[in-house]
Amino acid sequence: MKVLPRSAFGQTVFLIGSLLLINQIVSYLSVVFYLFEPAYQQINNLMASQVKVLFLGEENGYRVPTQLSKDFIQATKIQVMKEEDARWNGLDEAAHYPYFSEQMSKKLGGEAEVRISHGELSFFWVKPPQAPNYWVKIPLDGFQQKSFSPLVIYLVAIGVLSVAGGWVFARQLNRPLKALQNAAIEVGKGEFPETLRERGSEEIIAVTQAFNQMSAGIQQLEKDRNLLMAGVSHDLRTPLTRIRLATEMMSGTDEFLKDGIVNDIEDMNAIIDQFMEFIRHHKLEELEAVDINQLLQDVADSENNNRGRNFNLVFDPELPQVKVRPIALKRVIANLIENAIRYSEGDITICSHYDQQNRKVHFRVSDTGPSIDENDLERLFEPFTQGDLARGGEGSGLGLAIIKKIVDMHDGKVKLHNVNPRLAATVSLPIRT
């Protein structure tokens, strides 16, 4: 599990938030140690000086106050009372302050205890070492219990505003990159999006311009390839048609030679059809919500009528409808079944399954033909790649490439795997919303 974000947006916000947090901590500690602590020490020194005045000449305990102490008590409204009277006057409600107690003990030369009571007026309660059974109650103006609240509120507000500003900045910075990412994904699938708007920093604008040029170049190459293949198809089919007509005029003694030529012509036409199918842009077909089980059933019935092979159909009745391009997906199913018929003699099994947890529909076509080396399974999806000797070498090697192209166009996955004694091809399609 990785804690740090991996996206540029997340990293930018994380960096700004981290720097801001460090700045806030330093600011907080600076205010505490260089503003609040000296102020508290000054307050504590003042209280200690007032307590000392009360006990001038009273080294053995508190007795009758001197005239100076009386005048000081009257002027400052300080009260000296026994512990029982102090409790009656609010000592129990006062909060103990270890920091002030420690500082007061140093100032008075012995163990002292300090408490502070809050209300409409705040009072400083001191238990001096000179008179352990007495408490000195000193009125304290301007000392509030929530002295830190304005500072904390200020720091939190600055932190929230800074993070929000950093989030907006990072979002604006990464929006062109997100658009560039989505456009690159579309180009990888064979789509050609509109020219991207050039915005953002100079570096991002330069990258966007380069991408637009690359996309336009790939689109032009795609058009040139389609035009080339259409021309080649037309130029090849014309002489093939003339050859086919010529074979029909051959004498009956050359029937064997005639059949061979006709078979070769049909194979060449099939190869040309595969070339055209590979370059065809299936996205021209609209998406429709269809029942995959019905598509599998239709293609299996058609192949069964044409080839006379036995199909074992095992369908999941809970299969939901999936948005696909029906004609293109039928091409996938037909190619998989055609491969199974070509390379096996036994029954062909077609099954479907709904993965509710991952919201995916799976269907599988498996045969009883020989297996393929595990190292060659992924390679077979490359154009013009054929199977090993166990599977023969017929065809142009575009069947599985066409299947993968169509499945990728549906954001799905296709996989070949050996399931002894069968070879199976599984197609997974996501449930589109």
Q: What percent of the chain has pLDDT over 90?
A: 5
Mean pLDDT across the stretch 212-241? 76
The predicted-structure confidence for 345-402, as pLDDT tens digits, reads as follows 778 889 999 998 889 999 999 887 777 777 777 777 776 665 544 444 555 567 788 8
The verdict on 60 and 136 lying in the same domain is yes
Is 167 part of any domain? no
Is 189 part of any domain? no
The verdict on 250 and 297 lying in the same domain is no
- Cβ pair 346, 368 in contact under 8 A: yes
Question: Is the pLDDT higher at 259 or at 292?
Answer: 292
Mean pLDDT across the stretch 337-343? 84
Going from the C-alpha of 3 to that of each of 6, 23, 169, the distances in angstroms are 9, 22, 22
Domain that holds residue 248: 211-279
The verdict on 117 and 231 lying in the same domain is no
Is 186 part of any domain? no
The verdict on 290 and 424 lying in the same domain is yes
DSSP code at position 359: T
The verdict on 312 and 236 lying in the same domain is no
CATH code at 304?
3.30.565.10
The verdict on 286 and 397 lying in the same domain is yes
Say if residue 411's pLDDT is above 60.
Answer: yes
The verdict on 237 and 320 lying in the same domain is no
Could you tell me the pTM of the whole model?
A: 0.48
Residue 305 burial (C-beta neighbours within 10 Å; 0-12, 13-18, 19+): exposed
Average pLDDT of the chain to the nearest whole number: 76
- Unique residue bearing structure tokens 């994380």: 14
List the beta strands (DSSP E) in 23-65: none
The verdict on 274 and 299 lying in the same domain is no
Is 101 part of any domain? yes
The verdict on 231 and 350 lying in the same domain is no
The verdict on 302 and 216 lying in the same domain is no
Half-sphere exposure of 385 (CA within 13 A, CB side): 12
The verdict on 242 and 313 lying in the same domain is no
Domain boundary among 259, 279, 299: 279
Q: Which DSSP helix (H) or strand (E) runs through 152?
A: helix 149-188
Burial 19-35 (b: 16+ CB within 10 A, else e): ebeeebeeeeeeeeeee
The verdict on 426 and 286 lying in the same domain is yes
Distance, in Å, from the CA atom of 317 to the CA atom of 352, rounded to the nearest integer, reads 9
Number of domains in the chain: 3
Contact partners, residue 266, CB within 8 Å, separation at least 6:
none
**Crossing angle, helix 67-76 and helix 37-54, to 10 degrees?**
140
